[in-house]
């Protein structure tokens, strides 16, 4: 084979590898692939919108008579940080029909564009996994209960929403992931369950950390599968707290890490470590989405709060954007641009307007 041709193939293979990689586990940056956790295309150059500072990752889209177009997507910074709190006036809609050389801007007000509640198609499940081994129960139980309650209050919405649920589990040295409270959308139920934890809850002072990671991932996978039935979109977060290393030695570190690394990309993993006996490298790897560490029990609530903010922001960075299209037939290209301060990002897709009529609200 010609050496020059070999060199070309080598660089093409590198380009293919890079284009299919994700910068964050729950955001698909390879927008043109149409698979994974996010779909869509790069926006046509005729719009000249510039480089994307924000990533719009389409999760689902559909049309509804007489002419409504609905796009469900996630917004992140280029480093994968979720962007929450966006409003309809921060979005610009561009459409391109069969007779258009480029895209035309659609008035946000005239098209009745809005950010709509996404409860009907989106489910967010959080699993809070607490280490209740002997060292925690003896030295930092009350601080952990306070921090866990604060976590629940931050992650769960102020008003009960069926699309946001949480379950709480705990582990010690047994080969069991104990259920403290099953999956629920009721915040008060979760905080009351935390209040019942006492120093006698565990009969095994050891720490089965790796077993807890493996079992929690299996439960998150099961919940995700259940919550994505009937064309729903789902995401899950696993948040694991510990004050030490695995002592039970039932499962290997590699087995736990492989379970995390091969989990569904719609599952985020967070770890929280306390004190000087933790292995920060291990917890950082297991908490592949984010990890936080508290030097002592007095810092525990602040540490939990940093993770709870990330979990809450991730769930709030999903948007259902809807508008009434003026198109009335055929396949049409659609581009959505969002701006946040000096940052902007856009994504392109298409929809079919056959049968569209007036009267959309």
For residue 110, count other CB atoms closer than 10 A to its CB.
10
The tokens of 236 are what? 């899950």
> pLDDT tens track of the chain, all 361 residues?
444 444 333 333 333 333 333 223 333 333 333 333 467 889 999 999 999 999 999 988 999 999 999 999 989 998 888 898 899 899 999 999 999 999 999 988 889 999 877 777 889 999 999 999 999 999 999 999 999 999 999 999 988 888 899 999 999 999 999 999 999 999 999 999 999 999 999 999 999 999 999 999 999 999 999 988 877 788 999 999 999 999 999 999 999 999 999 999 889 999 999 999 999 999 999 999 999 999 999 999 999 999 999 999 988 888 889 999 999 999 999 999 999 999 999 999 999 999 999 999 8
200 occurs within a structural domain: yes
Element (H, E) at 140: none
Of 263, 214, 222, residue with least CA distance to 240: 214
98 and 138: one domain?
A: no
287 and 241: one domain?
A: yes
Tell me which residue range forms the domain holding 102: 27-111+325-352
d(CA 127, CA 142): 20
The tokens of 97 are what? 């029909």
22 occurs within a structural domain: no
256 and 307: one domain?
A: yes
61-76 burial string, b = 16+ CB within 10 Å, else e?
bebeeebbbbbbbbbb
User: What's the confidence (pLDDT) of residue 95?
Assistant: 95
Element (H, E) at 293: strand 290-294
196 and 303: one domain?
A: yes
Interior CA angle at 112 toward 356 and 320, to 5°?
90
Residue 293's DSSP bridge partners are 273
20 occurs within a structural domain: no
135 and 260: one domain?
A: yes
102 occurs within a structural domain: yes
232 and 280: one domain?
A: yes
Relative to beta strand 290-294, strand 267-274 is parallel
87 occurs within a structural domain: yes
User: What's the confidence (pLDDT) of residue 81?
Assistant: 85
For residue 276, count other CB atoms closer than 10 A to its CB.
9
Of 66, 119, 128, 62, residue with least CA distance to 308: 128
Say if residues 308 and 293 touch (Cβ distance below 8 Å).
Answer: no
51 and 150: one domain?
A: no
65 and 131: one domain?
A: no
User: What's the confidence (pLDDT) of residue 325?
Assistant: 94
Element (H, E) at 265: none
CATH label of the domain that carries residue 257? 3.40.50.410
Domains contained in the chain, number: 2
72 and 219: one domain?
A: no
d(CA 172, CA 113): 51
Return the DSSP state at 218.
H
337 occurs within a structural domain: yes
User: What's the confidence (pLDDT) of residue 22?
Assistant: 29
19 occurs within a structural domain: no
37 and 107: one domain?
A: yes
Q: CA dist 130 to 5, 172, 194, 240, Å?
A: 56, 9, 10, 6
User: What's the confidence (pLDDT) of residue 38?
Assistant: 62
Relative to beta strand 267-274, strand 233-242 is parallel
Strand intervals (E) in the chain: 54-64, 68-77, 91-96, 104-106, 114-116, 122-131, 164-171, 178-184, 233-242, 267-274, 290-294, 318-324, 331-340, 343-352
73 and 199: one domain?
A: no
235 and 182: one domain?
A: yes
For residue 280, count other CB atoms closer than 10 A to its CB.
11
206 occurs within a structural domain: yes
Residue 77's DSSP bridge partners are 54
Q: How remote is the C-alpha of 244 from its chain's centroid?
A: 27
């Amino acid at each position: 084979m010609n050496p020059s041709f070999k060199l070309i193939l080598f660089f093409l293979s590198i380009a293919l590898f890079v284009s299919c990689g994700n910068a964050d586990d729950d955001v698909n940056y390879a927008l043109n692939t149409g698979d994974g956790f996010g779909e869509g295309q790069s926006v046509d150059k005729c719009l000249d919108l510039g480089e994307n500072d924000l990533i719009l990752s389409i999760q689902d889209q559909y049309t509804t008579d007489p002419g409504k177009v609905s796009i469900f997507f996630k917004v992140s910074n280029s480093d994968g940080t979720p962007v929450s709190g966006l409003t309809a006036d921060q979005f610009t809609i561009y459409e391109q029909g069969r007779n258009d050389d480029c895209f035309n801007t659609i008035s946000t007000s005239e098209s009745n564009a809005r950010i709509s509640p996404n409860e009907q198609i989106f489910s967010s499940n959080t699993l809070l996994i607490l280490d209740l081994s002997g060292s925690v129960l003896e030295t930092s139980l009350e601080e952990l209960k306070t921090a866990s309650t604060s976590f629940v209050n931050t992650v769960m919405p102020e008003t009960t929403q069926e699309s946001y649920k949480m379950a709480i589990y705990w582990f010690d040295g047994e080969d069991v992931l104990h259920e403290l409270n099953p999956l629920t959308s009721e915040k008060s139920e979760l905080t009351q369950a935390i209040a019942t934890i006492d120093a006698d809850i565990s009969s095994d002072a050891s720490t089965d950390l790796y077993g807890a990671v493996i079992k929690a991932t299996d439960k998150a996978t099961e919940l995700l599968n259940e919550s994505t039935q009937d064309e729903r979109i789902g995401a899950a977060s696993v948040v694991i707290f510990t004050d030490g290393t695995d002592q039970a030695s039932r499962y290997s570190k590699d087995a736990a890490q492989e379970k995390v690394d091969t989990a569904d990309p719609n599952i985020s993993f967070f770890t929280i470590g306390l004190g000087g006996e933790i292995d920060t490298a291990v917890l950082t790897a297991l908490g592949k989405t984010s990890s936080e560490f508290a030097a002592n029990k007095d810092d525990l609530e602040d540490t939990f709060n940093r993770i709870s903010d990330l979990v809450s922001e991730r769930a709030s960075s999903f948007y259902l954007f809807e508008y009434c299209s003026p198109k009335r037939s055929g396949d049409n290209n659609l581009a959505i641009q969002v701006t946040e301060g000096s940052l902007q990002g856009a994504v392109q897709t298409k929809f079919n307007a056959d049968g569209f009529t007036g009267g959309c609200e």
